[in-house]
Amino acid sequence: MKNQTMNSLKNLFNPLPIHKKIVKEAETSPEQALRAQIASSYLLGNGIEIGALHSPLNVPHHVTVKYVDRMSVPELRKQYPKLKNYKLVEVDIIDDGERLNSIPDASVDFVIANHMIEHCQNPISAMEQHLRVLRHHGILYMAVPDMRYTFDRDRAVTSLEHLIKDYTEGPEWSMKSHFEDWVRLREKVPEDRVTPRVQYLMSIDYSIHFHVWRQIDFFELLLYCQNDLSFPFEIELIQKIISLNLSSFLASNRLNQRFPVALKMKLI
Q: Mean per-residue pLDDT for 60-66?
A: 95
Summary count for the chain: helices (H), strands (E): 10, 7
Query: How confident is residue 192, by pLDDT bands cut at 50, 70 and 90?
Result: very high
All structural domains of the chain with their residue ranges = 2-146+214-265
Q: Please report the pLDDT score of residue 179 as a whole number.
A: 98
CA-nearest of 230, 237, 235 to 268 is: 230
Q: Please report the pLDDT score of residue 13 as a whole number.
A: 46
DSSP strand E in 37-156: where?
Answer: 46-50, 64-69, 93-94, 108-114, 134-150
Helix, strand or coil, per DSSP, at residue 54: coil
The three-point CA angle 81-84-86 to 5° equals: 130
Taking a C-beta distance cutoff of 8 angstroms, is the pair 109, 135 a contact? yes
Instruction: For the beta carbon of residue 157, count every other beta carbon within 10 angstroms.
Output: 16
DSSP code string of 148-186: EEETTTTSPPPPHHHHHHHHHH-THHHHHHHHHHIIIII
List, for residues 115-164, the tens digit of each pLDDT value.
999 999 999 999 999 999 999 999 999 999 999 989 999 999 999 999 99
* Pick from 27-31, 55-59, 74-78, 172-176: least confident: 27-31
Check residue 119 and report its DSSP letter.
Answer: G
C-alpha dihedral, 53 to 55 to 57 to 62, nearest 10°: 80
Q: Please report the pLDDT score of residue 161 as a whole number.
A: 98
Burial class (CB in 10 A: 0-12, 13-18, 19+), 189: middle
Question: How far apart are alpha carbons 76 and 65 in whole angstroms?
Answer: 19
Q: Please report the pLDDT score of residue 242 as a whole number.
A: 53
Proportion of the chain above pLDDT 70, given as a percent: 82
Q: Please report the pLDDT score of residue 6 as a whole number.
A: 54
Q: Please report the pLDDT score of residue 2 as a whole number.
A: 53
Q: Please report the pLDDT score of residue 49 as a whole number.
A: 98
Q: Does domain 2-146+214-265 have CATH number 3.50.50.60?
A: no
Q: What predicted TM-score, i.e. pTM, was given to this entire model?
A: 0.85
Q: Please say if the pLDDT value at position 45 is more than 70.
A: yes
Instruction: Give the rounded distance of the alpha carbon of 190 from its chain centre.
Output: 29
Q: What is the mean pLDDT of the chain?
A: 86
Q: Please report the pLDDT score of residue 22 as a whole number.
A: 29
Q: Please say if the pLDDT value at position 21 is more than 90.
A: no
Could you tell me the CA-to-CA distances from 173 to 57, 136, 161, 178 in Å, in that order?
A: 33, 35, 13, 10
Q: Is the dihedral of CA 242, 209, 88, 103 positive or negative?
A: positive
